[in-house]
Amino acid sequence: MADIEPFRVVEMLTRAGELQAAGVDVVHMEAGEPDFPTLPQVVAAAKAALDAGHTSYSPAAGIPQLREALSRWYRQQHNLDVPAERIMITPGGSGALLLMSALLVNPGQGILMTDPGYPCNRHFLRLVEGRAQLVPVSPAQRFQLTASVAEQYWRDSTVGVMVASPSNPTGTALTTDEMQALLALCQARGGNLIVDEIYQDLVFGDAAASVLGMTDQAFVLNSFSKYFGMTGWRLGWMVAPEQAIPALEKLAQNLFISMSTPTQYAALAAFEPEALAVLEQRKKEYAQRRNYLLKELRAIGFGIEAEPVGAFYIYANIRGLTQLDSKDFCLQLLEEHGIAITPGADFGSHLASEHVRFAFTTSLEKLQEAVRRLREMFC
């Protein structure tokens, strides 16, 4: 238990809530949760599923209709051939992380992953007595793990590499060449490549390269939370090599029994053309916010060493503005200026004390208010 850390963002959320209750107008840029509501199509489909009595256990791998809907979506939206049989529905991206960790990692073994990175990843490995083998990644590499660096850190106990593209907290993505090189390294070493593609559909320029177009042997984690705006429903999925599916299904039977059945029927509606059109419109709005915030934060003096190409985060260096530790800086911003952001320590330790994460999961008007307050502080 001592190895498992609480999220600092939760403390931040709690304190922000207290301040708000006390009348402070807080600008929330701390949570990785879309401010857009779940699509009305999905809500309507959930109600229809309840009326139709879809409230019993369903297959551990997910309802066939949803696995097939994802397979069609991969073909139509991404021009990728991903058979439904290779898609496991999971209880959130968290469920996919649990299955992946349980399947691939024996005690003492480890997976290379970036510092900074999504903090829960390492705790799933710790749960199964494996270890996250953290690789400090620098702004020069856009905070991403490259094959040459991964090779340096590869040990006898390493069984794979995990990357997120685009990544949380930085929003940077791997190029096709970089992903290919990582894949080649994993294949040469007999390890597995695991790619978190949770932000894959929130890329603002040219689409980031999905590993699914390069191999059928990678493990891909995804979720309905971010692009599809379904955080509180807890639904995700995983694409796995065909030969891994029977073992994953056995694990899912034992660990989950079933996913939420009405939620799976609800998610089917997210693939309707009108629903997808709304999601693409939302993506444009994220892009606007990103462009605005990037320019303003730079003008104020934050160091944006690697520009985000996707997700809804900007990872910023504060050393041009303050010598405070980023945790103290975040507390000061919240207490004195009503701006809630997340300190780097939530994502690891490498360069954490000089970085903070801004989440642009709030309206442009709110972002403008935050910028106004920051200008007052620093300009």
Name which of 144 and 260 has its Cβ closer to a second copy: 260
- Which of these ranges, 101-109, 200-208, 213-221, 367-375, lies near a second copy under the rule CB under 8 A? 101-109
Q: Which of 79, 83, 243, 250 binds a second copy (CB under 8 A)?
A: 250
Q: Does the footprint of a second copy cover residue 103 (CB under 8 A)? A: yes
**38 CA to centre of own chain:** 18
Residue 23 interacting with a second copy (CB under 8 A):
no
Q: Is 278 in the site for a second copy (CB under 8 A)?
A: no
SS3 letters across 167-230:
CCCCCCCCCHHHHHHHHHHHHHHCCEEEEECCCCCCECCCCCCCHHHCCCCCEEEEECCCCCCC
Burial of 207 (0-12, 13-18, 19+ CB in 10 A): middle
- DSSP H or E run through 164: strand 158-164
Question: Is residue 7 within the footprint of a second copy (CB under 8 A)?
Answer: yes
Compute the least distance from the CB of residue 229 to a second copy, in Å: 8
**Sign (positive/negative) of CA torsion 260, 235, 359, 141?**
positive
127 or 300: whose CB is closer to a second copy? 127
Check residue 310 and report its DSSP letter: B
The site map against a second copy for 333-372 (x = CB under 8 A) is: ----------------------------------------
Residue 3 near a second copy by CB under 8 A: no
* 263 lies in the binding site for a second copy (CB under 8 A): yes
Q: Figure out which of the listed residues 65, 187, 243, 254 binds a second copy, where binding follows CB under 8 A.
A: 254
262-268-274-277 Cα dihedral, nearest 10 degrees: 110
Count Cβ atoms within 10 A of the Cβ of residue 107 and give its class: 0-12 exposed, 13-18 middle, 19 or more buried: exposed
What's the half-sphere exposure (Cβ side, CA atoms, 13 Å) at 373?
17
Please tell me the distance from the alpha carbon of residue 343 to that of residue 116, in angstroms, as a whole number. Answer: 11
Q: Does 242 bind a second copy (CB under 8 A)?
A: no
Q: Is 339 helix (H, G, I), strand (E, B) or coil?
A: strand
Residues 30-69 that bind a second copy (CB under 8 A): 31, 33, 37-38, 43, 46-47, 50-51, 53-58, 60
Cβ-based nearer residue to a second copy, 57 or 190? 57
What's the CA gap between 305 and 23, in Å, rounded?
36
Query: Taking CB under 8 A as the rule, does residue 18 contact a second copy?
Result: no
Segment contacting a second copy by CB under 8 A, of 18-26, 67-75, 261-269, 278-286: 261-269
Burial annotation 345-359 (CB, 10 A radius, 16+ → b, else e): bbbbebbbbbbbbbb
Nearest by Cα to 219 from 134, 80, 101, 108 = 101
Residue 11 near a second copy by CB under 8 A: no
- Nearer to a second copy (CB atom), residue 51 or residue 206: 51
Phi first, then psi, for residue 151 (nearest 5°) are: -60, -40
Binder of a second copy out of 192, 222, 261, 342 (CB under 8 A):
261
Number of residues that bind a second copy (CB under 8 A): 56
Contact 105, 111 (CB under 8 A): yes
29, 134, 211, 230: residue in contact with a second copy (rule CB under 8 A): 230
Residue with tokens 């199964």: 128
Q: Rule CB under 8 A: choose which of 19, 68, 78, 123 binds a second copy.
A: 123
Given the rule CB under 8 A, which residues bind a second copy? 1, 4-7, 10, 31, 33, 37-38, 43, 46-47, 50-51, 53-58, 60, 91-92, 94, 98, 102-103, 107, 119-120, 123-124, 127-129, 230-234, 247, 249-251, 253-263
